[in-house]
Structure 1
Amino acid sequence: MTRGGRQKDRETSERRCIVTGETQPKEGLVRFVVGPDNEVVPDILEKLPGRGMWVTADRDALDKAGKGQFSRAAKAPVTVPDGLADEVERQLARHVTDLIALARKSGRAVAGFEKVKAALDAGGVRVLLQASDGSERGKQKLWTPTGARWFGCLTSDELGLAFGRQSVIHGALSAGGLSDRVVEEAAKLRGLREKHGDNAVAGKD
């Protein structure tokens, strides 16, 4: 790849947060656009038309963005809907569960303590998922492999939705496929939930 190509990739993968003013990889940011009615709309899938406004995936940053930063970034008065951070959290949670469901359908995800333990023992686990409302004693019996990530930002009901069950406490995704996308989106969800009682919401590389 040419030097110009590397520079272009770097520029397209980074965005500037309208709140902090910092330029960072867009994987840690949430995109927003202004709709036809001049209302700020979250663009979780990053596909909506219009000039994007990027905010760090954090409740404090989103709250500050709603206090004038969106209007400044849009260079026009905009309407910020009530409960915007809650709506972003809801959409992100659904997006993460949808991605896990796709990984399950492709044969790259397992659920249940014994199946997850077997997958860990066999190697190749990229993501370890543990329900935020699950038993701490049970969760501590599983270990996170080197180079993998663990997340506890989904509830047992949300993990159950991803795996087509009523509830799930333990889940794991193998490397490849959608696993990296799950890591990126779950990290954003962690940023919105870690101050709302979910202390064990993300793990290590």
Structure 2
Amino acid sequence: MIAAATVDDGGADDAELVVNDRTCIVTREATSPEMLIRFVASPAGDVVPDLKRQLPGRGCWIKGERALIDTAIKRKLFTRALKTEVSVSPDLGALVDRLLVADLLGMMSMARKAGQFVTGATKVDAAIRSGAAAGVFHAADAAADGVRKIDQARKAWRLGTEAEEDIPSFALLTSAEMDELMGQNAFIHAAALAGQAGEGVVKRANMLKRYRNSGQSGARSGAGRPEL
């Protein structure tokens, strides 16, 4: 597939974005929009992230990794790519992180309403062993013993089904962070279930994990506490 230009003239045509690859302004690599974050210049001349790829105007793309956004700021690549003088907040990388977290939590809420997100160690264990779990979530400061028991269920499921990959496991927020952001919906252990909404949760969790560039994949194997 021939890569599209580094910049685009608008985010309204989702069909075009799906068909064409885009090019990261930092790495110069062409890839699908799902692996990239789009940025545009606001009417005031500020660079703003466009996670939904819907804002109007010329846009540019960066692979979804925090370090690459920091590099783009340092090298003043936004002005060159957007072909206009723009103001870039030094906290742009942190803003994107917050937006990705909000997007993930919003999808968790939708999945919960659709019956595709369950919480509590007992329900998570049952979802794993039944094959219904699309992804497992822990508070980053969850007790190691609780995580170990759920990892054992993931391992048993994989051995029993001879699956090539583990059910992915994530630990992206501490319990205190979830209490602040989610209120009564906070959890220590949870599972996204198979289905459009549950799989949307896993997709967004993978994106946040890649963005934070921890060096860990979304899928984990073995026991022990999951890492950020």
TM-score with structure 1 setting the length = 0.83
The alignment-based identity, stated in percent, is 34
Aligned residue for 1:37, secondary structure, equals coil
CA–CA distance in 1 between the matches of 2:57 and 2:200? 23
> How far apart, CA to CA, are the structure 2 residues paired with 1:174 and 1:161?
24
Q: For residue 45 of structure 1, give the secondary structure of its aligned residue in structure 2.
A: coil
Report the equivalent of 2:6.
none
Kindly tell me: are residues 44 and 89 of structure 1, through their superposed partners in 2, closer, same or farther at Cα, counting changes over 3 Å?
Answer: same
Structure 1 residues 139-169: Cα deviation after superposition (integer angstroms, max 9, x where no partner): 1211345453222223334555787626311
Query: Which amino acid counterpart does residue 208 of structure 2 have in structure 1?
Result: L
CA pair 60-14 structure 1, distance change in 2 beyond 3 A? same
| Corresponding position of 2:218 | 202
State the 1:133 CA deviation. Answer: 2.0
Kept in 1, the 8 Å contact 2:78–2:86? The answer is: yes
Question: Any conservation in 2 of the 1:157–1:168 contact (CA below 8 Å)?
Answer: no
User: Structure 1 residues 9, 180: closer, same or farther in 2, change over 3 A?
Assistant: farther
Aligned with 2:33 (options 26, 30, 35): 26
1:185 CA displacement: 1.9
**TM superposition shift of 1:194:** 4.4
- The partner residue of 1:109 within 117, 126, 129 is 117
- Where does residue 155 of structure 1 map in the other structure? 174
- Greater mean alpha carbon deviation, residues 156-165 or residues 146-155: 156-165
How many residues matched?
A: 195
CA contact (8 A) 1:124 1:175 kept: yes
Three-state SS of the structure 2 residue aligned to 1:80 is: coil
Which structure 1 residue ranges, 5 or more long, are not aligned? Answer: 1-7
- After superposition, residues 27-42 of structure 1 pair within 5 angstroms as 27-42=34-49
TM-score with structure 2 setting the length: 0.75
2 CA distance for matches of 1:32 and 1:165?
33
Q: 1:160 to 1:109 in 2, by over 3 A?
A: farther
Is the 2:124–2:191 contact (alpha carbons within 8 Å) kept by the matching residues of 1? yes
CA gap 1:130/1:201 in 2 versus in 1, 3 angstroms = farther
The answer on whether the counterparts of 1:100 and 1:162 sit within 8 Å (CA) in structure 2 is no
Q: Does residue 122 of structure 1 match 2:130?
A: yes
Q: Whose radius of gyration is greater, 1 or 2?
A: 2
Map of 2:199 onto structure 1? 180
Match among 91, 101, 106 for residue 83 of structure 1: 91
Instruction: Provide, for residues 82-134 of structure 1, a one-character-per-residue CA deviation record: whole Å limited to 9, x for no partner.
Output: 20011100111011000011000111110010110111111121111112221
Match of 2:11 in 1: none
Q: What residue ranges of structure 2 are gaps of 5+ in the alignment?
A: 1-14, 222-228
CA distance in 1, matches of 2:202, 2:94: 20
AA aligned opposite 2:136: L
SS at structure 2 position matched to 1:46: coil
Q: How much does 1:80 deviate?
A: 0.5
State the Cα RMSD in Å: 2.6
CA separation in 2, counterparts of 1:129 and 1:36? 39
